[in-house]
Chains A and B, each alone.
Chain A
Amino acid sequence: MIIPHPLLGPRDSQEFTYLGDASLIDRPDWQAEGAVDLFHDYLYLRDNPAGAHRELWFHEQGDRSWLVVTRDTVTHEIISAELARDVARARGRSK
């Protein structure tokens, strides 16, 4: 699999390590109502779709950036890759 890195261009997926579903960006607020349930769902439950899947890849053997890669889990086709930083900020994180 070749991952189209937004800064470095096409890179072999072997340079990356895989974390999982991109929803791991959305860490719950530990002070929220029902934080125990929120963290249970955040940590342990996954959508696990067959088809387009947004997921976190870490460019460990490269520039050590985190990417959100959209990939088809049935065909392994990589549809897009964006910097996880940009995705997180767009969702209101790290302001």
Chain B
Amino acid sequence: MRYSGFKVLKEALTGHKGWTPAWRDPAPKSHYDFIIVGGGGHGLATAYYLAKIFAKSSIAVLEKGWIGGGNVGRNTTIIRSNYLLDGNEPFYEFSMKLWEGLEQDFNFNAMVSQRGVLNLCHTDAQRDAFRRRGNAMRLNGVDAELLDTEGVRRMAPFLNFDNARFPIKGGLLQPRGGTVRHDAVAWGYARGADSRGVDIIQNCEVTGFRIENGVCKGVDTSRGYIGAGRIGVAVAGSSSRVMAKAGLRLPIESHVLQAFVSEGLKPLLPGVITYGAGHFYVSQSDKGGLVFGGDIDGYNSYAQRGNLPVVEDVCEGGMSLMPMIGRAKLLRMWGGIMDMSMDGSPIIDRTDIDGLFFNGGWCYGGFKATPASGWCFAHLLATGTPHETATAYRFDRFRKGLMIDEKGMGAQPNLH
């Protein structure tokens, strides 16, 4: 079924009896050419692009719980492509271009809203670093604008400009950045993949990989053995646990990142604003809630909930940047599990086991990467070679010293 304004009108006049489920609920077959493990944003996007762009058939997505029930539903919905390093920037810009055409492409309203992402700076040195990053972005054909204090004041007059310790010296603005309704991304990709014949199999946990003579032949699941030509694992957050079933150790630690939503308020924030003196970022959802977050808790965790010290730290950042936030009540807070990699950048690569491919290590930047991650992983699965924007995302970059370390923190995952 194709969604359109006309269809909405027609259904409104006929009692909404014509809507059908957006995707099927098929039983697993005994063999597929491609199996994607993980029915989150990245896994569903991979299946969608495998079917649509690379014209493959016989594809299944296996999901332990329900699709979109993991990090694609737990993030703070921000999209941006404001990276410094060459290994990253073309990839994230590819993702941004896909976001811009996504809703027309998969015929689903994902509420892509390019309302701008503004990073604030508070010292001369930070402004220099932002100028450098903005220039790097422009060299890659990405929009970037350096604002002075007055420029920031025009956009967001409610910020605390008089803070003696952390005065706002300006900001780096990416006007094309913004927010997207995250659940709709999972649903849109699922519906698009399903309509092209992909079997989306929920409540199907992968319990092991069948590996014979260094070749992965299929997966054991809670719904029986399923054979496959090629298997792609896209389960960021649980990557180490799943890949351990294939005997692999990864350059990844799992950490918890918390997020918060306030009660609904009238339109207030023009876009996404990040604080440069503390770890705090905030945007406003279309329902009116302030969506904000900060740093990861900093210790290994699979708990999907964090502890109070980071809650305090985030709220201090909020109060320091925009004191009026203290008048808003907190509605919800939750945690998601991040694949924190050793250099803060992701991995999209084949493994040492033939037929087994890996996509993960997204740290806390996986959501914005969803379309490009899916496309590049599909490219790798279909052709066996990395997509041109993802050539740096290899396992062996640590061995070769080719880390993509935006923050320059070294192999210390809780600092990225």
Question: Which A residues form the contact surface with B (CB < 8 A)?
Answer: 1, 13-14, 18-21, 40-41, 43-50, 53, 55, 71, 73-76
* A1–B342 CB distance below 8 A: no
With A18-B298, A76-B303 known as contacts, the answer to whether A47 contacts B411 (CB < 8 A) is: no
User: What's the nearest-Cβ distance from chain B to residue A51, in Å?
Assistant: 8
* A75–B249 CB distance below 8 A: no
Report the interface size for chain B: residues with CB under 8 A from the other chain: 25
* A14–B240 CB distance below 8 A: no
Question: What separation, in Å, do the CA atoms of A23 and B173 have in the docked complex?
Answer: 42
Residue from the list B240, B309, B414 in contact with A20, Cβ < 8 A: B414
Chain B residue numbers with a CB within 8 Å of A41 are 249
Question: What separation, in Å, do the CA atoms of A75 and B305 have in the docked complex?
Answer: 9
Question: What separation, in Å, do the CA atoms of A75 and B309 have in the docked complex?
Answer: 17
Interface of B is mostly: mixed
Chain B residue numbers with a CB within 8 Å of A20 are 253, 300, 412-414
Question: What separation, in Å, do the CA atoms of A71 and B411 have in the docked complex?
Answer: 22
Instruction: List 9 tightest A-B contacts by C-beta distance, closest first.
Output: A48-B240, A44-B251, A45-B249, A50-B302, A44-B398, A18-B299, A44-B342, A73-B300, A14-B309
User: What's the nearest-Cβ distance from chain A to residue B411, in Å?
Assistant: 5
* B250–A45 CB distance below 8 A: yes
* B411–A75 CB distance below 8 A: no
Question: What separation, in Å, do the CA atoms of A41 and B413 have in the docked complex?
Answer: 15
User: What's the nearest-Cβ distance from chain A to residue B346, in Å?
Assistant: 15
User: What's the nearest-Cβ distance from chain A to residue B258, in Å?
Assistant: 13
* B300–A76 CB distance below 8 A: no
Q: In the complex, which residue of chain A has the Cβ closest to the Cβ of B305?
A: A76
Within 8 A of A (CB), among B219-262: 238, 240-241, 244, 249-254
Chain A residue numbers with a CB within 8 Å of B307 are 1, 13, 76
B280-294 vs A, Cβ < 8 Å mask (1 yes, 0 no):
000000000000000
With A20-B412, A55-B300 known as contacts, the answer to whether A48 contacts B309 (CB < 8 A) is: no
Q: Does B135 contact A (CB under 8 A)?
A: no
* A18–B251 CB distance below 8 A: no
B328-366 vs A, Cβ < 8 Å mask (1 yes, 0 no):
000000000000001000000000000000000000000
